[in-house]
Every structure is written in structure tokens, then in C-alpha cells.
Structure 1
């Protein structure tokens, strides 16, 4: 149930290797679409140079000694560009491995090392285990600029009271009408469901993956049954991704203006937007809020003498490592290649490719495909750097964050369903 039935790292057979599409002809996953305008512009310029040389009486070429000088400098620029981009990609994968290992270690330590003698303590332990997985999922959404808690892979990991407090704190105060914010949001979501609003394609698929019946687990002899968190239905606006204010901000202003735009935004729209994605109202991002919840649980268990000092120190150090991982990923995200370097590299690429037709002018019209091939190669290296320098998105070349978080969720389910929680004596 929790193991993948497909072997990812296997050697393809002869028949599969022959009939599969070769990498040289693939477009999906390549940077051809991104660099095509640049290559076409260089091809057009080379064509104009060839036509002008053919129509004019005098030769308009340049000596071939110019190209080697530019080649050395351009090669150094491209090497630095590609190496720095791949370093960011590799660092992102390394940090995610550290975070994933930290979640696993804290999950195992809490599940087996923290004493729980009654049903309430068992449920608290179960809630913290979900918080740990939610930390990884919330980090993924945070790195992608997706704010709020209304995501199918996140909402089932968070208890309802936490979600309500999060939305309430984002709104600041209750909206008009005297209805409490959480109740109003729940009513609006129900209205959207009844009026035929559905999840977007990505949310629908993800929601189906995370929807399941509640199960129970008996935590050994004498231990109470642990119920899994209830599955929640998450709705998204049909034209706006969850956690986005962009659509509504482009239509009207929620803060009001001299034209009376705020009056045109009714209570229904304000609450629905806020429920879909609280953003700037929070000074503390969701992953750090979850870490505070987990840390508070660890301290409370130490005060209650349910965990020994060595285990408590291990939990604290591992949680600190997880926070360090979040900081490292923020550094990768908000520290791109300097703009001046990117501009100079692009200018150098165009300068080099525009000089090539003049140095290859003796090839006449045959130099057009040669210049195009060289431009495709050079702009492709630059395009790969742009593609992988931010490895936290949805592109095929980005890190498989969805699969990493899904693996953690499956491991959490396996621990809850299959491994009995030990009840060590109090220290």
C-alpha cells in the first residue's frame, strides 16, 4: 500500500530502448521553447548578412582571428553561469534531503520515545506527527509563493482549530454581519460547493489522492485507538490558483479608493478571497508557525516528565536543523544570479553570434545553418541555467517536491497504521 509498484531506477530492455523516443528529438523538458526567439533572431540576422553580401559588390566579412578572442571570454561566462545554477539546484536537493531526514527522525523519536498514558496524550502525539509532515508540505508551498492553508495536500494534515486561527489572524478581525470568521468561511465554501464550483484540475487530482476513509490504529495492549484526521474538501476558484489574490486585486480594491471600488466587493467575495489565501497579514510564515507548535509540544512533554532529557535534546537539535534547512532554501530562493551578470552574459551572447556571420561570410548561404546551430548551443546553455537556478517550481526540471512530500505522508500513514506507539514509563 505504501510502496511504489513501479521501479524507477531500472535499465530499459532492448525493445523499450529501440521503440522509445530518443533524447535528441525530445522537446518536453528541454529549453527549446525558451531560447527559440533568441535563435530565430540570430538566424534572421545571419540571413540578412548573407543576402547583403550576395547583393553587394564588395565583401563585408571580418578576419577569423576575432572569433577566438571572444570564444575564450564567452566560454568563461557560460561556465560560471551553468556551474552556479547547478550549485543552486544541487544545494536545494541536498537541503531537502536534510529536511526529509529531520522529519523522519523527529517522527520516529516522538512516536516511540514520548510517553502517552491516556487517549488525550495519544491524540496530541498524533497531531504533532501530522504537524511534522505538514511542515514539509507547507515549506513546499511557501517556496512556490503559494500562501494560505487551503491546499488538498495540506488541509488534511492541519486540525480545524489551527486552520481557523490561521485564517482569523490573517483577516485580523471578523467581517461584517456579526458572524464569526471561521463559520462564515465554512458557509461560503459550502455555498460554492452547492453552486457548482469545483476544484481546478491540479487540486482535483491532488484531492483525490489524499481523500480516504478514516481508519483507526490500536497502539498496543491497553492503548486507545487513534483516529486519522478527517478528510476535508478544499475548493478553489475556477480561474485562480489557491492562495492567490491576483484575480481579485485586478478587479477591485479590498482596501477602498476614491472611486468606491471597495463598496462593489461584497462580504461573500472578501471572505472567499481571504479563505483561499491569507498572505501579507502574517508576519510569521506557516512553516515557522508549525515549528512553534511542535516545539511547544516538546517542551510541554519535558515539563510533564514524559520524555527523558537526552531525547528532548535530540528533538530540539533536529528541529533546529529543520529550521536551518528552511533558511537555506530561502537563501536559494531570494538570492538569484546578479542582474548585472545576466545582462552582460546575454549581451555577450548576442555580440558573439552577430559577429559570426561576418567571419563565416565566405561560406555564403551555408553559413546560416552553421550560425543557427552555434546560437542554439550557446543560448541553450544559458537557458538551462535559467531553468534550474530556481529548483522549487512545477517544471519538469525542478526538484520533485510533490513526490518528496507524498513519500513523507505515506511514511506517516504507515507509522500510524502499522507500528504500535510505545508507552515508556515516565522519567
Structure 2
């Protein structure tokens, strides 16, 4: 996803001519096809030959046809953006819950030995591992080096064979918290709170999975594409007899509008990929890592101040 620094926002004119993230390169071949078709029909018409299928062009001015096409395009775009925004909210929940859980682990769990301290650090690593594993899970990627560095060697093997890596990591975190309760390093109230946070984390993952595994029905997408194709194909037969060569730029603009809106909807349909218009999952994982490190530093400073006083 394209993001801009607060001090480096593009101006209005630069945004218009921006290529990265725009839909024009994706739909340009289709626009050129309709422009070539319009140019061929115009050449035939100015040579005095009759243009057949003129009645097809009447569809472009038909109220019912335009109404159905407009409603379907609006519904398609709104549905895709709703999926995009739902995915962003789900990842917002992951960020917030990991922040809260990191604080609860650092402050709420007391450690008596060096081994318990290392186990607490490993639990914090599992929080970041959860976010990275969720990203890889949604993208269908394998375990990478960054994830391997955050878990134990035996856990790496389990993650490589797992079909739901976030679920495994959540189970390990829950097991750790219950172990701390048995060791009396953790209270019942704190366990209930952290269990609720873990449940919220998996709820966010389930929300992302729902978006990923429930695409827009193929029959709906096919129907909308065919309506746009019929419209763009019939438009030259309507315009050429009236404005001849001027029909070419008009067809280009109209096809850009229709094909562009439909392409925008397709881009937003699955927000978890690698396209520039998808969610910045890598950046969100970096934000989570920074939050965990920040909380750890604050906890260390607080302990130092307490020991001094």
C-alpha cells in the first residue's frame, strides 16, 4: 500500500499524474481496444459504407440499462471497499490487542529466576511472531527467517507443518500464561483479562480469514463485466454517426471511467496481498515490533527507578 509521510504529501497535480497505484496501466489495453474499434468504425463510416449494429448503440442511452449498470458498479465498489476496511479494522484490533497483552505480560507476570525471565522474553517474541504468522497465513506464504528467529527450533518445525500458524502461536501463549498461574506468578483476574485479549486476537484473524475465503461471487463479477463490455462495445455505434472522429476520445474517456471503477473494486477485493493498493501488512508488523520494544524499555526504566528509590 502507498503511504505518505506527513512532511512529504504529494500535491494535487502530482497525484493526477502518479502512475504507481493507479488503475490506468492495468486497463490501458482494454481502452486501446475500444479506441481502435471506434477508429475502424469511423473510417468505415466516413468512406460511405453503412455501419451495422446501430441499434446496439441505443443501449447506451437506455434508462433501464444505465440504471442497472450504475447500481451494479456502485454496489461492487462499496462491497470491495467494505472488505478492505473490515480487513484494516481487523488488523487494527491485532495491533491494539498485542500492545495490551505485551503490557500485561511485562507488568503482570513476576519472575523469580533467570529462566523465568527468558520465558517472559520468549512470550513477548511470540506476540510479534503472531502478527508475522498472521500476515504469512493470509498471503499463503511459508515460514520465513523473521518468524523462525522469534520461536524455538522445535516450534519452527511445528509451524512449517501447520495449516493455521496464528492458532498454534496463540495456544503457546495461552499455555505460557496458565503455567505462570500455576507458579503463582500470575493472578486469576489477570489470566481472565489476558485470555480475553487472546480471544480477541483470534477473532481478528477469523475476520481476515472470512474476507479471504469469501470472494465476490463469480456470477456477479462475470455479469458486471459483460454489462460493461456491451456498453463500451455499443458506444461507438451510437457516437460515430453523430460526431465521427471525435467519438474516439469520448469512447476512451467513457471506457476509462467504467473499466477504471471496476478495476478499483477488483484491487480492493482482497486487501492482504502484495499490490500497492493492499494493506501495508509489513509496516503494521514493524509497528507492532516497535510497540513491543517500546513497552519493554519503559518496563526496564520503571524497574530501575523502583530499585533506586
Provide TM-score, normalisation by structure 2.
0.89
Q: Structure 2 regions of 5+ residues with no counterpart? A: 304-309
Q: 2:246 matched to which residue of 1?
A: 366
Question: Within 2, Cα distance between the matches of 1:383 and 1:39?
Answer: 13
In structure 2, the CA distance between the partners of 1:66 and 1:129, relative to structure 1 (3 Å rule), is closer
Question: Within 1, Cα distance between the matches of 2:19 and 2:197?
Answer: 42
Question: Within 2, Cα distance between the matches of 1:342 and 1:100?
Answer: 33
Q: Deviation per CA, 1:237-294, whole angstroms, max 9, x where unpaired? A: xxxxxxxxxxxxxxxxxxxxxxxxxxxxxxxxxxxxxxxxx4xx43x42111111100
Residue 10 of structure 1 and its aligned partner are, at CA, apart by 4.4
Is residue 67 from structure 1 mapped to residue 61 from structure 2 by the alignment?
Answer: yes
Q: 1:310 matched to which residue of 2?
A: 189
Say whether the 8 Å CA contact 1:67–1:356 is kept in structure 2: no
Q: 2:306 matched to which residue of 1?
A: none
Q: 2:210 matched to which residue of 1?
A: 331
Q: 1:147 matched to which residue of 2?
A: 142
Q: How does 1:36-55 map to 2 (within 5 A)?
A: 36-55=28-47
Question: Within 2, Cα distance between the matches of 1:372 and 1:387?
Answer: 21
Q: 2:110 matched to which residue of 1?
A: 115
Question: Within 1, Cα distance between the matches of 2:167 and 2:99?
Answer: 18
Q: 2:274 matched to which residue of 1?
A: 394
Q: How does 1:14-413 map to 2 (within 5 A)?
A: 17=11, 22-58=14-50, 60=52, 61-62=54-55, 66-69=60-63, 70-148=65-143, 150-151=144-145, 153-163=146-156, 165-166=157-158, 278=160, 281-282=161-162, 284-361=163-240, 362-413=242-293
Question: Within 1, Cα distance between the matches of 2:192 and 2:251?
Answer: 62
Residue 124 of structure 1 and its aligned partner are, at CA, apart by 0.8
Question: Within 1, Cα distance between the matches of 2:296 and 2:103?
Answer: 11
Question: Within 2, Cα distance between the matches of 1:89 and 1:334?
Answer: 14
Is residue 9 from structure 1 mapped to residue 10 from structure 2 by the alignment?
Answer: no
In structure 2, the CA distance between the partners of 1:311 and 1:360, relative to structure 1 (3 Å rule), is same
Q: 2:307 matched to which residue of 1?
A: none
Question: Within 1, Cα distance between the matches of 2:267 and 2:95?
Answer: 24
Residue 64 of structure 1 and its aligned partner are, at CA, apart by 5.2
Question: Within 1, Cα distance between the matches of 2:219 and 2:205?
Answer: 28
Question: Within 1, Cα distance between the matches of 2:80 and 2:195?
Answer: 33
Question: Within 1, Cα distance between the matches of 2:295 and 2:58?
Answer: 68
Question: Within 2, Cα distance between the matches of 1:65 and 1:297?
Answer: 66
Runs of 4+ in 1 over 3 A off after TM superposition: 56-66
Residue 37 of structure 1 and its aligned partner are, at CA, apart by 2.1
| Stretch deviating more after TM superposition (337-346 or 55-64) | 55-64
Aligned residue pairs total 296
Question: Within 2, Cα distance between the matches of 1:394 and 1:299?
Answer: 37
Residue 419 of structure 1 and its aligned partner are, at CA, apart by 2.0
Is the helix fraction higher in 1 or 2?
2
Q: Deviation per CA, 1:47-102, whole angstroms, max 9, x where unpaired? A: 22212222234465447575242221111111011000100110000000001111
Aligned-residue CA RMSD (Å): 2.2
Provide TM-score, normalisation by structure 1.
0.65
Say whether the 8 Å CA contact 1:103–1:132 is kept in structure 2: yes
Say whether the 8 Å CA contact 2:93–2:204 is kept in structure 1: yes
Residue 309 of structure 1 and its aligned partner are, at CA, apart by 1.3
Q: Structure 1 regions of 5+ residues with no counterpart? A: 1-6, 168-277, 423-427
